[in-house]
Amino acid sequence: MRIYFDHNATTPVDPAVVDRMRAVLSEDFGNASSVHHFGQRAKGVLDDARSAVAALIGGEPSEVVFTSGGTEADNFALRGAAEALEPTGRRHLIATGIEHEAVLNTLKALSRRGWTTTLLPVDRSGIVSVDALTDALTDNTAVVSVMHANNEIGTVQPIAALAEAAHARGAVFHTDAVQSVAKIPVDTRRLGVDLLSLSAHKFYGPKGAGALWIKRGTRVSAILTGGKHERNRRAGTENEPAIAGYGVAAQLATIKLATESPRLAALRDRLEETILLRVNGTAINGVRDPRVPNTTNISFEGIEAESLLIALDLEGIAVSTGSACSSGTLEPSHVLRAMGLPAHRTQNSIRISLGSGNTDAEIDYFLERLPQVVGKLRTVTGMRR
């Protein structure tokens, strides 16, 4: 038995997505920039996918720029907006301490090029306060970037209020919605943001496809220069098969969200409640609400997260110690650290992220095996069960 509880790292590709990608690979091989029949068919494929992605986030197709994934979308948002706003003299960027590395390391790169950066704190539950942003904003602030849902703990930030505060000081607002899209309703207009990143492989699409949604009128410079693709905003021949699959994944997500979200929340809540009841020395990290429905992050006192991950893997259960990028490094999670959790708790936490294939039977199996696995590990470390 193999159980996959690591959907925030990536998701299995939906069979309907695979079918569409296979068809495009073999039949619609044209270059969307070509004028002839083959090119126009390829352009049609891109148009359909663009409309589907736009519909998923409440945007206009013309506002969607395809990228190679969430990392490029975040880079494009921050570097592109920073460059476009340079002539205004604004040289200050704001993000939070719990952003994904795609944002944090881009900010570091920009700070080496003379930009001032501020990382906002989060509270113990992993939430950024509007007051903290208001205090950090200056007339010099060009861009504010706050992720919608956190990849490690799943908490959802008050984006609409944060965007309003940023706009009041004339700053552009970006949100990394890679972990919220297809898990909770994401509506660009309701959120009131200017830029929004998303990535196909987090919702049953292929890896290597993503998008930056750019609200009409927002100034963003291209970071990939070359041909006139994507209305001059992102050069390079589009990854047609992946984008076609992305479109199907977006359509499926739009249809399934209303039923899948409560189903996953029920599984997750049962999982959490039972663990807290059956295994002592456990605690949930981050606020329980608002949170994406598929994610939980749990500390197990007296146990190294890596040992628990390996022991569960031997039982056929795949979980994570945090973001996929930092797992395998034994680095304590920057997210849990930013929340002010004590060192031991940042090192004994695992993330369980559920998805479409997970069933009640899988949760039962996990809940049956977990207390024994934890008990064994604690016997090794000398801690009472």
Among 71, 157, 320, 349, binds ligand PLP (CB under 6 A): 71
Q: Which residue's Cβ has the minimum distance to ligand PLP? A: 70
Q: Provide the CA 141 distance to its chain's centre, in angstroms.
A: 24
CB of 359 to ligand PLP, least distance (A): 24
Q: Catalytic one among 119, 265, 283, 325? A: 325
Pairwise CA distance, residues 304 & 249, whole Å: 36
CA Rg, the chain, in Å? 21
DSSP tally for the chain: helices H, then strands E: 13, 12
90 CB contacts (<8 Å, ≥6 apart)?
139, 140, 141, 142, 170, 171
- CB under 8 Å to 273, separation ≥6 — which residues? none
Nearer to ligand PLP, 107 or 275 (CB): 107
Q: Would you say 98 and 160 are in contact if contact means Cβ atoms under 8 Å apart?
A: no
Which of 82, 94, 110, 147 contacts ligand PLP by CB under 6 A? Answer: 147
Q: In the complex with ligand PLP, which residue's Cβ is closer, 243 or 374?
A: 243
What b/e readout covers 52-71, taking b as 16+ CB neighbours within 10 angstroms?
bbbbbbebeeebbbbbbbbb
Q: How far is the CB of 100 from ligand PLP (least distance, A)?
A: 4
CB of 74 to ligand PLP, least distance (A): 6
Q: In the annotation, is 205 catalytic?
A: no
Question: In 119-235, where does DSSP find H-type helix?
Answer: 130-136, 159-168, 188-191, 229-232
Cα–Cα distance measured from residue 222 to residue 196, given in angstroms and rounded to the nearest whole number = 15
Which C-beta is closer to ligand PLP: that of 155 or that of 348?
155
Q: Which is closer to ligand PLP, CB of 173 or CB of 370?
A: 173
Q: How far apart are CA 212 and CA 92, in angstroms?
A: 21
Candidates 70-78, 301-309, 331-339, 343-351; binding stretch for ligand PLP (CB under 6 A): 70-78
Shortest distance, position 159 Cβ to ligand PLP, whole Å? 13
Options 96, 179, 188, 346; binder of ligand PLP; rule CB under 6 A: 179
151 near ligand PLP (CB under 6 A): yes
Of the pair 68, 118, the CB lying nearest ligand PLP is at: 68
Integer Cα distance of 235 and 223 in angstroms: 9
Nearer to ligand PLP, 108 or 278 (CB): 108
Q: Does 332 bind ligand PLP (CB under 6 A)?
A: no
Q: Which of 197, 198, 135, 200 is nearest to 162 (CA)?
A: 135
Structure tokens at 279: 């295994």
Instruction: Return the DSSP state at 184.
Output: B
Q: Which residues from 247-286 bind ligand PLP, rule CB under 6 A? A: none
Residues in 201-240 that interact with ligand PLP by CB under 6 A: 201, 210
**Binders of ligand PLP: how many residues, by CB under 6 A?**
15
Stretch that binds ligand PLP, among 82-90, 171-179, 307-315, 337-345 (CB under 6 A): 171-179
Check binding of 100 to ligand PLP (CB under 6 A): yes
Active-site residue list = 325
What are the residues binding ligand PLP (CB under 6 A)? 69-71, 74, 100, 102, 147, 151, 176, 178-179, 199, 201, 210, 324
